[in-house]
Structure 1
Amino acid sequence: MSDLDQLTQSLARNLKRWRNERGFTLDALAARAGVSRGMIIQIEQARTNPSVGTTVKLADALGVSITTLLDYEQGPQVRLVPPGQAVRMWSTSTGSQTTLLVGTEARGPLELWSYTLMPGDGTASDPHPDGTTELLHVTEGTLTLVVEGEEHALPAGTSAVFEGNVPHAYRNDGDRTVQMTLAVSIPPVR
């Protein structure tokens, strides 16, 4: 598949996904974006490759970045963010700072949790509703995150984002206490 074909397929998949997530009809998105309904249908069916301007209008109307709308990846279910990829947004000479650890495009209820897992302990979760996203940040120890049976080691300072609509678990396989913060975004009931 050529790069252009891959881009066209990604845009088709992502546009339809985000339009449905936002609960927009074709007509509603067309009105918000100032793009014809017919053009949106062609894009969602991967029959056309729109201009950059049209793509930006659609991304803006959906409230997502153009990067999100054009994301090539089928998307690994888990995206790890090593400490070096966190973005320092603000800092002062006295040491105050804010750092964007990890983010995702999501809406609906959002929960923030603090976890302490002693060595050898763990907890499992049944799948949440479709559209649920979990974000976590490990502040101490090394967490073993298991998503659909695949294990991911997250040392302190690492963040991750994954879709929570599959079986998942958090384990401490090490000999140090694991401390982490977890945010869960649950889609609203339609």
Structure 2
Amino acid sequence: MTDLDELTQSLARNLKRLRLERGLTLDALAARAGISRGMIVQIEQARTNPSVGTVVKIGDALGVSIPTLLDFDQAPAVRFFPPEAAVRLWSTEAGSHSLLLAGTEAPGPLELWHWRFMPGEGSDSDPHPVGTTELLHVTTGVITLTLDGADHTVPAGTSAAFESHVPHGYRNDGAEPAEMTMAVSVPGISR
């Protein structure tokens, strides 16, 4: 079984388990996540590899992190995330990519990411649930953070914190690759 097959199987198992634990029907989860019922059925049956955006919407609707959706093991007191466990969830042919480095539920999903943007590339995100906060730290280059239509320049060595319940995105307008580390904290939902 390939890594992608294992991720697809884990996502299928965890999505169904989490949906049932929360007492959500397929229709209720679809409405909450803003995706079709058919897509949820396909994911639960491991018949599709959904986009990052779809996985994020499902995680937000369930109030869990992406690592929780992709992992089925119970967490020990300390969980280690070796480099080979990082999950690449977004990439372009030019070499831009994101790596999900680690995640936990405390009290809601908390994720740690590494992003790399090649010159001229970027990634947009749909609004997250109200109360979601993102922290980013640019390690190389300059990242342009767009938040609710306004651009903000974040040079290397600078960090930014913002509420991400509005449309937002990141891009590299420079001539060299740019990299950032980002943490995303999503509020827990009542079960």
Q: Could you say which TM-score interval applies, normalised by the shorter chain?
A: 0.3 to 0.5
Q: TM-score, normalised by structure 1?
A: 0.44
